[in-house]
């Protein structure tokens, strides 16, 4: 029986690459999406072409009931979840002076509460199995802070504190919980930045380039695998040396 990996926000960007990388390792894959579109169908097809099962589940992770329903569907189909990757996330950048309360709240709702909603619903099944891996996608900004990203940085710092707490709570049940903190990765999220801004950011990276989604996915693959069986409560930076 294949292991089952559940990736939120998996139709594009880093999430899609994580789903494909785990599929290549032989996992059956659950991809979460918000709206049915071509990207979803393409991702599903790419995964199925790797000869594993792929279940797509619709849901907004910031809504508790959506997470509950998605997890129920996965358990009905596969009977278990071995690896949960909380990847879905958003930004709504603005200096504090002009940041609307709703934009602060929305980012916390998706990035932090969404991670809670998923973990809360998945861990009971992992606890029964006395086995599981949870990998939360944070950000280097959650460690360093960033001007114009007070909402995002707070949400990602929250994810780190949440990860460490869960790691302590769940270790006795053989559930390992870690976070990955990407730096500047080439996806739709960073493509919105102006070329000059991208160039400025590149100058702060010792490796002098953006990271690729695959480079984040490979670390997730490691944290999901038996090779990381003695690692829990850690934050692994994938940032080309951006933050040391
Ligand atoms: P992206 O290309 O913007 O993709 C984000 C994904 O999250 C999309 O699939 C999106 O779905 C999904 N999503 C957003 N809100 C959701 C919700 N409420 N419920 C379910 N799905 C939702 O972003 P990315 O760059 O791949 O980022 C992935 C993760 O890495 C995020 O947590 C991000 O904060 C983190 N990260 C990224 C970078 C970077 O440089 N790119 C750096 C550090 C950390 P839709 O298609 O429906 O919008």
CATH number of the domain that residue 118 is part of: 3.40.50.720
Residue 152 annotated as catalytic: yes
Domain assignment of residue 154, given as a range: 4-238
166, 127 contact by CB (below 8 A): no
Q: Tell me, what DSSP letter sits at residue 185?
A: B
Residue 244 within any structural domain of the chain: no
Residue 202 within any structural domain of the chain: yes
Residue-level pLDDT at 183: 98
Among protein residues, the one with the nearest Cα to ligand 1's atom 4 is 13
Among protein residues, the one with the nearest Cα to ligand 1's atom 12 is 9
Residue 152 within any structural domain of the chain: yes
Q: How confident is the model at residue 134 (pLDDT cuts 50, 70, 90)?
A: very high
Q: How confident is the model at residue 53 (pLDDT cuts 50, 70, 90)?
A: very high
Residue-level pLDDT at 106: 98
Using DSSP's 3-state secondary structure scheme, residue 5 falls into strand
Two tokens at 191? Answer: 């493509």
Q: How confident is the model at residue 16 (pLDDT cuts 50, 70, 90)?
A: very high
Residue 93 within any structural domain of the chain: yes
For the full predicted model, state whether its pTM sits above 0.95: yes
Specify the residue for token string 């003695």. 230
Burial of 224 (0-12, 13-18, 19+ CB in 10 A): buried
Residue-level pLDDT at 149: 98
Rounded to the nearest angstrom, the distance between the alpha carbon of 212 and the centre of ligand 1 is 14
* Ligand 1 proximity of 187 Cβ (cutoff 6 Å): yes
**Residue 237 φ then ψ, to 5°:** -85, 135
Mean pLDDT of all residues belonging to the chain: 98
Q: How confident is the model at residue 151 (pLDDT cuts 50, 70, 90)?
A: very high
Residue 104 within any structural domain of the chain: yes
Domain count, the chain: 1
Residue 194 within any structural domain of the chain: yes
């Amino acid at each position: 029986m294949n292991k089952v990996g559940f990736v939120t926000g998996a139709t594009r960007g880093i999430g899609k690459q994580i789903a494909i990388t785990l599929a290549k390792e032989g996992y059956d894959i659950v991809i979460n999406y918000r709206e049915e579109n071509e990207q979803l169908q393409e991702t599903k097809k790419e995964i199925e072409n790797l000869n594993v099962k792929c279940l797509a589940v619709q849901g907004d992770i910031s809504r508790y009931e959506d997470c509950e329903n998605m997890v129920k569907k996965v358990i009905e189909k596969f009977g278990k979840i071995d690896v949960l990757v909380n990847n879905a996330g958003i930004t709504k950048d603005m200096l504090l002076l002009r940041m609307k309360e709703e934009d602060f709240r929305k980012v916390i709702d998706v990035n932090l509460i969404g991670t809670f909603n998923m973990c809360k619903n998945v861990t009971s099944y992992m606890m029964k199995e006395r086995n599981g891996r949870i990998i939360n996608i944070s950000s280097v900004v959650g460690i360093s802070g960033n001007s114009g990203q007070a909402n995002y940085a707070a949400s990602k710092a929250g994810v780190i504190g949440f990860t460490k707490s869960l790691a302590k709570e769940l270790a006795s049940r053989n559930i390992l919980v870690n976070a990955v903190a990407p730096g500047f990765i080439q996806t739709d999220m960073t493509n919105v930045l102006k070329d000059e801004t991208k160039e400025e950011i590149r100058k702060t990276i010792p490796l002098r380039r953006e990271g690729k989604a695959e480079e984040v996915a490979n670390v997730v693959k490691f944290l999901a695998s038996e090779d990381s069986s003695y690692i829990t409560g850690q934050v692994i930076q994938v940032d080309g040396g951006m933050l040391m």
